[in-house]
Amino acid sequence: MSEYMSISKAAEYLNVAKSTLRNWEAEGLITPLRTASNQRRYTKEMLDELLQGNMKAAKPKKLLTIGYCRVSSGHQKEDLQRQKDVVSRYCEVNGYQFKIIQDVGSGLNYKKKGLTELINMICKKQCERVVVNHQDRLVRFGFEMIETICQANDVELVVINQTDNVDPNS
């Protein structure tokens, strides 16, 4: 009987990042088993097949990291530029290939052009990571919903400057 490996152990076995395994799955190169709680499980045999060249493509395409920056009004253009600088610097330091999406509009408005583009990219698996400077720059309320959408599509959500115990009404 085969021993089942978590995505971390499988990535270690193949000497690749966990995101690479997720990307290979999205491209149909490997199909892991799923637990009742929807966690991926791999067998040594399925990973060995991947190593033996049964992959459809030798190298999966590298997905973008999306930096999302938002301010509430046009009067905050300096703050928007600061956010873009911080997010860009973070992506550069981490060696990510990235694109910045920016919005000017209320964090309560979910119909902003940039936010709509971001959600579409997440749902179409066109990015592997979303980076924001602060949690409330993504949305004022409903961050957990965006987080769930990211998790369902294997997209990492990175908040650079995480503030603990923030009252969303403040």
Q: Would you mind telling me the total number of residues written for the chain in this entry?
A: 170
141 to each of 74, 100, 109, 138, 152, how far by Cα in Å? Answer: 21, 22, 10, 9, 19
Q: Which helix (H) or strand (E) holds 132?
A: strand 127-132
Tell me whether residue 72 is one of the annotated catalytic residues.
yes
Cα–Cα distance, 162 to 134 (Å, whole number): 6
Six token digits for residue 142: 């409903």
DSSP 124: T
CA 145 to chain centre: 14
Of residues 8, 37, 72, 73, which has the active-site annotation? 72
3-class secondary structure, 121: helix
* CB of 5 closer than 8 Å to CB of 46: no
Catalytic residues: 72
